[in-house]
């Protein structure tokens, strides 16, 4: 039996689902990939926003590109009401369960994007009650909520 199942997601395109139960605090899966310097990422055209980007900042010097066949964790979607979080442990990126997760549940975490002038490039489709309509980390969502008034459908308008 597989620990994970990749299938269509109600959040966005493909998602990663638990193939077994996980307890709160469990290391669910390692986010793997090729390491680059921040400078390499800034200068390389392959990391533009015209396609899916799977970059994680590992530390001040290093970025990890998870766009590899061996990185099953790249299918985990963002949600504003996640059941996992990211933790860097001994130089490795781990997805950790923040609550008990049942077999069949979709795995999710907050991608942690900061609020900046480009936030509109990253709409959020999670539909949770905490969703501000954009993939912006939890401690920055108040900026979106202040900037926009919510409609009855929970979507944002100017």
DSSP-derived 3-state class of residue 143: helix
- Please report the pLDDT score of residue 49 as a whole number: 60
CA distance readout (Å), 137 to 32, 70, 76: 22, 27, 16
pTM, to two decimals: 0.85
Task: Check if the beta carbon of residue 135 is closer than 8 Å to that of residue 87.
Answer: no
- Please report the pLDDT score of residue 104 as a whole number: 97
Q: How far apart are CA 149 and CA 152, in angstroms?
A: 10
Q: How far apart are CA 53 and CA 131, in angstroms?
A: 21
Q: How far apart are CA 11 and CA 3, in angstroms?
A: 20
Q: How far apart are CA 112 and CA 88, in angstroms?
A: 14
Domain-by-domain residue ranges, the chain? 4-110, 115-158
- Please report the pLDDT score of residue 144 as a whole number: 84
Q: What is the pLDDT along the chain (158 residues), one digit of tens a residue?
A: 589 999 999 998 899 999 999 999 999 999 999 999 988 888 876 666 655 678 888 889 999 999 999 999 999 999 999 999 999 999 899 999 999 999 999 999 999 888 877 788 889 989 898 888 888 888 888 888 787 755 444 555 44
Tell me yes or no: is domain 4-110 CATH 2.170.270.10.
yes
Residues near 23 by beta carbon (within 8 Å), at least 6 away in sequence: 97, 100
């Amino acid at each position: 039996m597989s620990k994970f199942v990749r299938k269509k997601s109600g959040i966005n395109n493909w998602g990663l689902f638990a193939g077994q139960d996980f307890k709160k605090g469990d290391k669910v899966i390692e986010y793997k990939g090729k390491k680059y310097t921040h400078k390499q990422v800034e200068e390389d055209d392959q990391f533009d926003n015209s396609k899916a980007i799977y970059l994680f900042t590992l530390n001040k010097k290093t970025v990890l590109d998870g766009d590899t066949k061996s990185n099953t964790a790249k299918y985990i979607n963002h949600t504003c009401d996640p059941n996992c979080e990211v933790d860097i442990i001994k130089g490795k990126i781990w997805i950790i369960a923040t609550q008990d997760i049942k077999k069949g549940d979709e795995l999710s975490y907050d991608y942690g994007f900061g609020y900046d002038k480009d936030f509109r490039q990253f709409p959020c489709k999670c539909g949770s009650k905490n969703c501000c309509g954009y993939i912006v980390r939890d401690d920055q969502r108040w900026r979106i909520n202040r900037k926009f008034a919510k409609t009855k459908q929970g979507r944002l308008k100017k």
